[in-house]
């Protein structure tokens, strides 16, 4: 069995105000419109990450606990995407372990 827990909640926005203003066709200098747009974008990202529990749009810490290792010797991670070479720390019974390789992409794996 696999247990997944998000340890850190992202504290940065997915979009800059400039990136957000262009497709919405609003003036980035219009503070009222930008405040409203940023709030809606943040809510959309939060809903997407909560309901699509396998999606991480912003870098965050996730704890994955296994009862046993996969028989195939390859473990597909339940949350992605993950860039190749991203910071992944492995522990076995609480001790650091270095015998695994991480494969990034839309569906990352160990």
**Residue 104, domain member (yes or no):** no
> pLDDT in tens for each of the 110 residues of the chain?
777 777 776 666 677 888 888 888 989 888 898 888 888 888 887 777 776 667 777 777 778 788 887 788 888 887 778 877 766 777 777 788 777 788 888 888 88
Distance CA 24, CA 17 (A): 11
**Residue 60, domain member (yes or no):** yes
> What's the pLDDT score for residue 10?
65
**The total number of structural domains that make up the chain:** 1
> What's the pLDDT score for residue 9?
66
**Residue 103, domain member (yes or no):** no
> What's the pLDDT score for residue 11?
64
**Residue 93, domain member (yes or no):** yes
Distance CA 110, CA 103 (A): 6
DSSP letter, residue 76:
B
**Residue 105, domain member (yes or no):** no
Residues 6+ apart with CB under 8 A from 26: 33, 34, 37
**Residue 11, domain member (yes or no):** yes
**Residue 41, domain member (yes or no):** yes
**Residue 106, domain member (yes or no):** no
Range of the domain at 56: 2-97
């Amino acid at each position: 069995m696999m247990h997944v827990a998000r340890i850190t909640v992202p504290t940065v926005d997915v979009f800059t105000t400039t990136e957000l203003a262009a497709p919405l066709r609003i003036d980035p200098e219009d503070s009222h419109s930008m405040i409203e747009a940023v709030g809606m974008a943040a809510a959309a990202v939060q809903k997407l990450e909560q309901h699509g529990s396998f999606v991480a749009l912003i870098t965050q810490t996730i704890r994955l606990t296994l009862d046993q290792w996969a028989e195939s010797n390859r473990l597909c991670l339940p949350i992605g995407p993950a860039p190749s070479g991203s910071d992944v720390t492995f522990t076995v019974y609480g001790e650091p372990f270095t015998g695994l390789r991480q494969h990034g992409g839309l569906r990352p794996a160990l």
